[in-house]
């Protein structure tokens, strides 16, 4: 992991941009881990029709919005980002399910 400067200690845009780039690399690492869980879900779920779970989707987005609010972040914008993330995760999981050759139901 790259050593990051505290945002409050930044005095130049070079430092700010380096910090943002470092955070982006960490986010990609975390997204990689999240998508590994989608691979696991595709392996565990017995039927393709179980991949999309609207109740769980709502729960995930509500949870992240609450965490964003608690952190002082714009929860509506974060909710929109997670909407896209969850939909991308579902699409990824469907492909993973199909690759494993599970039932098509």
- Structural domains of the chain, ranges and CATH numbers in brackets: 7-100 (1.20.59.10)
Per-residue pLDDT tens over the stretch 12-55: 999 999 999 999 999 999 999 999 999 999 999 999 999 999 99
Residue 4 pLDDT grade (very low, low, confident, very high; cuts 50, 70, 90): confident
Cα angle 13, 19, 24; round to 5? 125
Enter the pTM of the model.
0.87
| Residue 98 clears pLDDT 60, i.e. is over it | yes
Distance from the first to the final alpha carbon of the chain: 42
Per-residue pLDDT tens over the stretch 54-88: 999 999 999 999 999 999 999 999 999 999 999 99
Ordered alpha helix ranges (H), the chain: 13-44, 54-70, 75-100
Contact assessment for residue 79 and residue 64, using Cβ atoms and an 8 Å cutoff: yes
Give the DSSP letter of residue 3: -
| Residue 101 clears pLDDT 70, i.e. is over it | yes
pLDDT score of 3: 72
- How far apart CA 39 and CA 29 sit, in angstroms, is 16
- How far apart CA 98 and CA 18 sit, in angstroms, is 39
């Amino acid at each position: 992991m790259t050593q990051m400067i505290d945002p409050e200690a930044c005095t130049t845009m070079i430092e700010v941009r380096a910090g943002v780039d470092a955070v982006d690399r960490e986010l990609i690492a975390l997204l990689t881990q999240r998508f590994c869980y989608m691979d696991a879900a595709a392996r565990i779920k017995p039927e393709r029709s179980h991949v999309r779970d609207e109740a769980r989707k709502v729960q995930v987005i509500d949870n992240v919005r609450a965490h964003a609010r608690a952190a002082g972040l714009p929860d509506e914008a974060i909710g929109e980002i997670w909407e896209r993330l969850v939909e991308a995760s579902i699409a990824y999981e469907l492909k993973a399910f199909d690759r494993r050759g599970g039932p098509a139901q």
